[in-house]
A and B are shown apart, each in its own frame.
Chain A
């Protein structure tokens, strides 16, 4: 069993839709939770970062962490074609950035 599970999709939505992306994990030692966005043939770029449980909002993006359920989510409101990318969840037990990644969900936002 992988330590981090993520539905690979692909996920296709119309412009303006609300997108929900999710990951589950098995290692209760994870304390830091991140979402990275990766465009084709590019490196991952940090989108959202949460320490421990709770919600964090940044513009159209909201990250949620539920440590009791070992479940994290990323919500994208008013999705745009420029949001089309692969979204990777990542988790870190110590803060040293030795990250454990999900396999990524490919999202396409249709104009």
Chain B
């Protein structure tokens, strides 16, 4: 999996609670991404980072925040989880011009 570890792999949480997902890489790649995958929508970019403390929004960033204090870690936070954020979340890494490699995913259920 190109040295990408996502944690947790599965999580069930209640509406309104904060949730943080972690992506850890051992490849020293500059770029890291968070995508969500939903039926009928495919994968959509939430946020990405192009270096430590350098982040930007993707297509579906509302309700999410990210932080990157170290090259190897990229955190995705749902400030107040909603049922519409039930999804499978994938982290990806890349060192352009190389293509992105994806982690195994985190299955999040908001009840």
Contact = CB atoms under 8 A, between A and B. Distances in A.
A97 B31 contact: yes
Interface residues of B, number: 26
Nearest to A104: B42
A101 B102 contact: no
A97 B33 contact: yes
A45 B45 contact: no
Contacts of A102: 42
Nearest to A51: B97
Interface residues of A, number: 24
Interface of B: 1, 31, 33, 35, 40-45, 48, 50, 58-59, 90, 92, 94, 96-97, 99-105
Interface of A: 4, 6, 32, 34, 36, 41-46, 49, 88, 90, 95-104
